[in-house]
Amino acid sequence: MALALLAINDHLLKGAQILPGLITGKLSDFAGLVVAPVVLAALFRVRGRVGQMAVLAGVAVVFFAVKLSRPMADALEALTMYTPFPWRIWCDPTDMVALSVLPLTWWLMQRQPGPGVGPRVRLSACVRAGGLVLGVFACAATTPGFDPTPGNVFLLNGTMRTESLRLYRVSGPLDCNRSIDRPAEWPGASAFVLRSCPTLASGDFLSLERAANDQDAGASPYRAPTCDAVLLQGEGLQPVVITWNGVPGGGADKAMFADRANSEQGLILERAGDRLFIQGTSLLHVLPAGFEPAPTDCPSGQP
């Protein structure tokens, strides 16, 4: 049942907008923690309670580490790049609730049949082999693709709610040879100007790069800057500055930004209780702003 749930959820429900992303994500965690230890134990022919306990503990430790540590998640993502199923892992402490399913996983592992004799055993072995193949496929979760989105840098609202944000842009050009590691000191609070107040429904995308109609006066013909920075603020989201330098052109593809995919040009807005947070990638850096932007009314026609 867990195998069927994992396969249906990861290969059909995710991205189909039938269920909110928070629910499909949690379903994957619960079902994966049931299926993965059983599949690993079968792959490596682990026998005995000690070996099975080691497999179960190993899966739990890896799950715990990648959900709480961005460097650990990055390391696992890098390993999956050498497989046909590259992953994109979201760190979310609320996923720890899925560890509560481990007693059920242990009970199922203890019910694995032992060696037998006769034709029935050969049939059972074929069934188990087929289930093992399906289990490996199901654990390599994918999501159906989306239509391309304009732009090279974008944010996905991965929460279950409609979120209202305030987007500030740097008013002048940046020095691309200088790293922004303390936004409050450089370029400074006065450099950020409110440009828009977007409202994102669950699953909506927001382009973060500078558009032609957002250029500074006198900049013609328009070309997007090599490096840029925006400041995002919202209810539950402390002001954060997102910076990038040398992001590949050609337009980012939402299909590459599906769950566990390998696009580094997209960020995801996530919620933990009343708090919103955004985690960076190797191309897009997310830093606490260290200041509150000046209170300003939204541009005309926006809430």
Q: pLDDT per residue over 27-86, tens digit each? A: 778 878 888 888 888 888 888 889 999 999 999 999 898 888 877 877 887 787 777 666
Residue 86, pLDDT score: 64
Neighbouring-strand partners of residue 243: 229, 285
Q: Are 38 and 109 in contact (CB under 8 A)?
A: yes
Residue 118 pLDDT greater than 50, yes or no: no
CA distances from 143 to 4, 24, 32, 92, 196 (A): 16, 11, 15, 19, 31
**For the segment 150-181, what is each residue's pLDDT rounded down to a tens digit?**
347 889 888 888 999 999 999 888 888 888 99
Residue, of 199 and 128, whose pLDDT is higher: 199
Tokens of 195: 């440009």
- Kindly list the domain boundaries of the chain, sorted by start residue: 2-139, 154-288
**For the segment 241-294, what is each residue's pLDDT rounded down to a tens digit?**
999 988 766 554 554 454 434 467 888 898 888 899 998 888 899 999 999 998
- pTM across the whole model: 0.54
